[in-house]
């Protein structure tokens, strides 16, 4: 049965369930998006508050140059066990986010890197997920400390926006930036910096989610206020649990509270390593597991997707025996998979 609701003109609108069931398979990537956009513009209220999941119909991009892919190829060539090779190859096939940092992709080169990825992605009918991670005083000089000056940061984000070339991309904006602002003592400056980034990205086709920390960190009310101040209404919504381990159920409860306080805002959850929930340790904790695979949420509600924003085998920093932040560690990747029951 096809469910029916009513548009602004009184005409009949198919409900979200009837639209998403097999939509992409039946009519293709571009047509699915176009159909959903037409429905939204015609007044068909597909989600609470009349908001549409902007990721519906999209296939997420698998980065062929990621560290997981490199690890899988190395395992296949080095005579690693069949199990290790199989698991690493399976991990490499999962869509995960591409982290843009000024240390790796400075102002002079970031536009070209982004442009190359989105151009490749569109030929596959896929949409890449980027993490923009270069805010001044990033991570309050923690394991991921660094970032740019204020002027350079504005220029860097502008170059990222230009790199999209009018093509769609998902952006996770500045993990930990708002949640850490109180501890860093730079809340007003951080709000100003992220407001500028939101405004810049709003002029592109980026589907932007502002990072909102996680449920064990900051209250929903405090985070909703910060998100509103930086221009949440100009974005697709917010992201939770980035690079953390909190179980999806707890994150959904936290995110739903923020959503209710912030105009029914939508959100995505990082599920890359939260299969067994958190031990209370955020930095390379042992005994954790992969979470639900990346997938766009097809049903009603403000949650748009599970995403793997932090690649499972990448280190959180030089803690619990880990290498430097962002470096790949086969043993950790294999342990996460084994604890999740991967065979």
- Catalytic residue flag (residue 9): no
CA dihedral 15, 266, 301, 253 (to 10 degrees): 180
Is residue 139 annotated as a catalytic residue, yes or no?
yes
User: How far, in Å, are 152, 212, 308 from residue 158 at the CA level?
Assistant: 10, 22, 25
Active-site entry in 84, 139, 211, 270: 139
Catalytic position from the list 211, 270, 304, 316 = 316
Q: Is 316 a catalytic residue?
A: yes
Query: Which residue of the set 176, 211, 270, 304 is catalytic?
Result: 176
Residues with active-site annotation: 139, 176, 316
């Amino acid at each position: 049965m096809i469910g029916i609701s009513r548009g602004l003109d009184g005409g009949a609108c198919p409900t979200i369930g009837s639209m998403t069931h097999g939509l992409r398979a039946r009519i293709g990537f571009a047509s699915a998006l176009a159909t959903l956009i037409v429905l939204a513009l015609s007044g068909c209220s597909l989600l609470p508050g009349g908001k549409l999941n902007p990721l519906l119909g999209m296939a997420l991009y698998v980065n062929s140059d990621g560290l997981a892919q490199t690890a899988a190829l190395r395992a296949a060539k080095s005579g690693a066990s069949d199990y290790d090779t199989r698991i690493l190859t399976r991990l490499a096939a999962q869509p995960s986010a591409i982290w843009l940092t000024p240390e790796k992709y400075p102002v002079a080169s970031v536009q070209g890197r982004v442009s190359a990825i989105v151009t490749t992605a569109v030929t596959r009918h896929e949409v890449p997920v980027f993490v923009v991670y270069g805010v001044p005083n990033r991570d309050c000089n923690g394991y991921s400390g660094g970032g740019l000056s204020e002027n350079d940061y504005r220029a860097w984000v502008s170059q990222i926006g230009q790199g999209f070339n009018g093509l769609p991309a998902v952006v996770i904006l500045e993990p930990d930036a708002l949640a850490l602002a109180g501890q860093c003592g730079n809340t007003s400056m951080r709000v100003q910096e992220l407001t500028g980034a939101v405004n810049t990205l709003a002029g592109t086709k980026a589907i932007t989610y502002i990072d909102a920390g996680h449920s064990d960190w900051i209250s929903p009310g405090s985070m909703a206020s910060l998100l509103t101040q930086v221009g949440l209404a100009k974005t697709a919504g917010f992201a939770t649990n980035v690079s953390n381990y909190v179980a999806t159920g707890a994150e959904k409860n936290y995110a739903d509270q923020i959503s209710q306080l912030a105009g029914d805002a939508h959100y995505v959850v990082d599920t890359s390593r939260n299969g067994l929930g958190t031990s209370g340790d955020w930095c390379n904790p042992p005994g954790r597991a992969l979470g639900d695979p990346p997938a766009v949420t097809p049903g009603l509600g403000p949650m748009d997707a599970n995403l793997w924003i932090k690649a499972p085998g990448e280190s959180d920093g030089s803690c619990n025996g880990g290498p430097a932040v962002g470096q790949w560690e086969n043993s950790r990747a294999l342990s996460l998979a084994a604890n999740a029951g991967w065979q």
